[in-house]
Amino acid sequence: MQLIGTGAARAGGEDGKDGKDGEAGYIAASLRGVTKDFGAVRGLDRVDLDFRSGEVTVLLGLSGSGKSTLLRHLNGLQSPTAGEVTVLGTRIDAGDGRGLRRLRRGIGFIFQHFHLVESMSVLENVCTGRLGTLRGPRLSLMMYPRSVRAEAMAQLERVGLADRAFQRADTLSGGQKQRVAIARALIQRPRILLADEPVASLDPVSAAEVIDLLREIGDEQGLTVICSLHQVRTALDFADRIVGLQGGRVVLDEQAAGLTVDAAFTIYDRVAQPETPQPDSTQPDSTRPDSTQRAPALAG
C-alpha cells in the first residue's frame, strides 16, 4: 500500500500552486526538509508538508511520533535542526524575537491542558489573547481597553460561555475550559489554529462538543486548522486531511474522505508487534481499541 498520498495537492487544486495570501487554498504554512534532533533522539525526520488555508488537518501517530514537535515548529516554539518552516509567507524559523511575536499573533494555539490562569475570571482569560497587541502590563480586567473586553465577550458568546464570563476559570469543567481557550485563541484573530491533543483530557461528550466547535469555527472563518488527535474515527469525521507520523516521518498523507478506519490504523500497525490483536472496525470509537489505548501495547 502506498501510504504517502497527495492530500495537500488535492486540497488546493490540481495545479498545487501556492496562490496568494488571502485567497482560499493558498499555502498558509509549509515545512521543507524539516529535521529536528533532540540530542540522539530524532523528533522530526525530513518532513515536507504544505498546509492550505481553510483546510482542517489531523496529525495521527503513536506517542512520540513527532506530532507536538511538528506543531511547535509551526508557531516557532521550536526551531529545526535542518530545513525551513514558512508560515503566512514568512520564514518562522529564521525570525527575530519581534518578527516572531508579530507572526505568532496570526497563529492560535490550543493545548491539551488549556493553560488558563485559574484564578482569573473567564473574561480576563480571553482578554489575555490580545496581550501581544497591547503595550504595558494588564493587571486586571479593567485595564484592558473596552473594545477588547467587548470582543472577548463576543468570543465567549461564540463558544457558548457568555454566562460564565465573570466566574473564576477554576470553577469550570474541562470542556468549558477548553472552550475558553478556543475563545482566547480566536480573539487573536488567527489565520492558523494549532491544537495539540485538544480533547485528550475530556470526557467523550465534552470532547465531541469541542471537536464540533473547532470544525464550525474553522469553516466559518476559513482557518487553517492543524490538530493532533489520538482518536482515529473522530479524526476521520473531523478532518479534511489526515497526516500520519511515525518516528518523526510522514508515512501517510491522504484526504480523510478517501480513508477507511483500517487504512488510517496502518499508521500504528506498521510498528505493531506481530502478536498485537487487530482492531475490530465494526465497533464504535468508545469501545474500539483506539490509539490512546493501543499505543502502550504497540510501543512496548
Ligand X SMILES: Nc1ncnc2c1ncn2[C@@H]1O[C@H](COP(=O)(O)OP(=O)(O)OP(=O)(O)O)[C@@H](O)[C@H]1O
Q: Name the residues that contact ligand X, by CB under 6 A.
A: 38, 41, 43, 61, 63-69
CB of 194 to ligand X, least distance (A): 12
CB of 40 to ligand X, least distance (A): 9
- Judged by beta carbon, residue 54 or residue 61, the one nearer ligand X is 61
Residues 6+ apart with CB under 8 A from 145: 134
- Judged by beta carbon, residue 77 or residue 261, the one nearer ligand X is 77
CB of 115 to ligand X, least distance (A): 15
- Judged by beta carbon, residue 23 or residue 269, the one nearer ligand X is 269
CB of 75 to ligand X, least distance (A): 14
CA-based nearest residue to 145, from 125, 131, 159, 165: 131
Cα 146–chain centre separation: 30
- Judged by beta carbon, residue 10 or residue 233, the one nearer ligand X is 233
- Judged by beta carbon, residue 186 or residue 226, the one nearer ligand X is 226
CB of 281 to ligand X, least distance (A): 22
- Judged by beta carbon, residue 67 or residue 104, the one nearer ligand X is 67
Query: How far is the C-alpha of 200 from the C-alpha of 197, rounded, in Å?
Result: 5
- Judged by beta carbon, residue 53 or residue 69, the one nearer ligand X is 69
What does the buried/exposed string (b/e) look like for 114-144 if buried means 16 or more CB atoms within 10 Å of the residue's CB?
A: bebeeebbbbbbbbbbbeeeeeeebeebeeb
CB of 67 to ligand X, least distance (A): 4
- Judged by beta carbon, residue 67 or residue 241, the one nearer ligand X is 67
CB of 276 to ligand X, least distance (A): 18
Q: Taking a C-beta distance cutoff of 8 angstroms, is the pair 34, 278 a contact?
A: no
Cα 19–chain centre separation: 23
CB of 68 to ligand X, least distance (A): 3
